[in-house]
Structure 1
Amino acid sequence: MVNLDTNKYIQLLEKPESVSTEHSSEITAIIQEYPYFQSARALRLKILKNQESYKYNNELKITASYTTDRTVLFDFITSEAFKEIPKKEEKLSIKDKILPKKKTTEVEIIEEDLAIGKPLSFNQNETFSFNQWLQLSSKTAIVRDNTNVEKAQKEEPSIKSEYDAIIDRFIETAPKISRPSKTSAPDIKVAENQQSNQLATETLAKVYLEQKKYDSAIQAYKILSLKYPEKSGFFADQIKRIQILQNNK
């Protein structure tokens, strides 16, 4: 049984900027006990982002697959509270960071320069980039484990009501959060085959890089070079690095 301090948990939901590494084990334990506890998964995302953990990008997809309304998740990860890092953040454990290694090949150096594996950072205008990152997992169904259901049914009523109260409180107090209706779409709707000047961003280019869609990443940087001629030199260098990756993969 997870030892949960209800008041403390509610405080973390109301002020996610206060979530730090010291809460990691407790929140992870909650997720293990209650895999479909969406708010706990969102808080775990915040911890991984604080740490700049290589696990963050994949965890974002997993969290989205457990989220009923992904616009809620998008609002959360683009909020100022999510982006704010606690002043006294603990150092990463060996398990949660990529150990430094000597760069011995050109490809390794280029991957480092392109920040491949670093947490993706979206802003509120990048719904297209967000949707592109989630598209590989958008059609993956969640297979519910019946043992978890049976376990929940055997729990004491007081414990169940405690968790219900936390969820209800979170829904009532969190901004822009509401129970999804039967007619609401679970995904952010965007034209997936459209890449206009407005949709192309550096984050989108990084999304394509993480997905190894090198041609799409190059095209995004070409559009950005036209949009921001003052940074055309930087974008040209990025394109050259990507082309080297293409030739070595």
Structure 2
Amino acid sequence: MNPAQLITWLNDPASLDKDSLSPLREMVDDFPCFTAARMLYLKNLSQLNDMRYTSELVKTAIAVPDRRKLYLFMEDRPESSLPGLTQAGSAENRDFSLIDRFLHHVSVQEADDDLELSDNYVKPEEQTAETDAPESDAFSLDYLNYQTLYDDASADAAAFSSSQPMQGQDLIDAYLSGDHKKVEAGIPAQTTSDVASSEETPTDDATLEAMTSGLPEASFSEALARIYVKQKRYDRALEIIKSLSLKYPEKNRYFADQIRYLEQLINSTNQY
């Protein structure tokens, strides 16, 4: 095979046919780390409906550095068609956005550890024929449903984020920055007097509840959880997120990540 032929196939994968299958197979055997050749060979198998497609698909998915590129190439879709997760940037979601990015960063590193800690974990050598999943099933979780999982995650994050500034956001920002005079000025007079009569400090629950008393219930809970995270009172934030998870089951997967992260923070804090 000459380089010109390879470039032709890369520019026009539709030209792959039964005559191109053998040269591509030889190239993959000779250069197993040549990603372009592997993807072309896989595309060729797909277009010919070859029975080796499924097993080769698993191998290629492991070998390629970016499975999104593989997905787009196999589906003949432009890169712009793959939606990204909602970008964090709004003030009312900045703390939860940091948690999301942290979880996304460490999820791959912790995957094996999570499996070993699970009560249902079975070592590969202990698996029986009945518990082994078919290769096609294992692959479908990673490749065939990639677009669906990506869309669901985007929908969960977008549904939980508010496009409008949350009511009382300026008071919350002032509280977090330590501007207690502004906080007291923004709290209704009757509530302020109740807080002033308390013997607790300006960072107590009475101040928080007074400050967020005028907010809708969902915003109230989110604001309290965010403030507790900022104060490193992770146990209180965890209680609120668990309550939201039960109340809004359609966002359960989104809240599950927050719960998992907060539990890790609590465990780490208790060790010191």
- For the superposition of Structure 1 and Structure 2, which TM-score range results when normalised by the shorter chain? 0.3 to 0.5
- Normalising by structure 2, what TM-score? 0.30
Higher relative contact order (CA 8 A, sep 6+): 1
Structure having the higher Rg: 2
More helix by share: 2
- Normalising by structure 1, what TM-score? 0.32
